[in-house]
Amino acid sequence: MFGIDSPELLVIAIVALVVIGPKELPGLLRTWGKWMAQMRGMASEFRGHVDEMVRQSELDEVKKQLEGSPGLDLQSLDPTKQIKQHIQEGMAEGEKAFNEAKSTFDNPLAEPESAPQVGAPAPQIAAEPAATAEPAVAETPPAEPAAPPSETPQIEQKPTKAAAE
C-alpha cells in the first residue's frame, strides 16, 4: 500500500504508539477509519457522477448522429403509430361487414345469394332390385304442393235424388 513494505509499516506503528500513547491510539484509529470511509464514499459518489456524465454525453452524441443521418426517420419507427394504423384498418373492415349485414336485414325481400329451391323435385336415384326376399317397392312421384285455399276452385255438388219415382 503506497509503496510501504511491512518493516516500514512496523516502524510507523511504533512511532505512533510512542508519540500518541497507548490510551489515545484506539480513538485516533477509529476517527481515522471514519474519515477514510467518508473519503471513499465521496470518491465513489464523484465517480458515479462522472460515469453518468460520460453516459449522458455518449447518448447525446449518438442521438445527434441518428438525427443527423438523412436516411433515418425516427418518427416512422414509432410502434404505436403502426399499432394504431392496424387497429383503424380492422375497425374499418368491421364497420364494412356490419353495414353489409345490416343492409341484408333492412331489405328482407332481397334473395340471398344461395337461396334454397323450394318445391324443386328431389333427384331420383334408380335402384335395381336386389336378389333378396324383399319385394321391390315402386317409387311414387312426390305430391304437388296444395294451392292456398283462396285459389282453390270451389265446386258445388248438388245432392242427387234417388231414382225412386
Q: What is the pLDDT of residue 63?
A: 81
Contacts of 51 (CB under 8 A, 6+ apart): none
Determine contact, residues 139/124, Cβ cutoff 8 Å: yes
pLDDT tens-digit map of 128-164: 555 555 555 555 555 555 555 555 555 656 666 655 5
pLDDT tens-digit map of 7-51: 888 898 888 888 888 888 889 889 999 999 999 999 999 999 999
Q: Quick one: pLDDT band at residue 165, thresholds 50, 70, 90?
A: very low
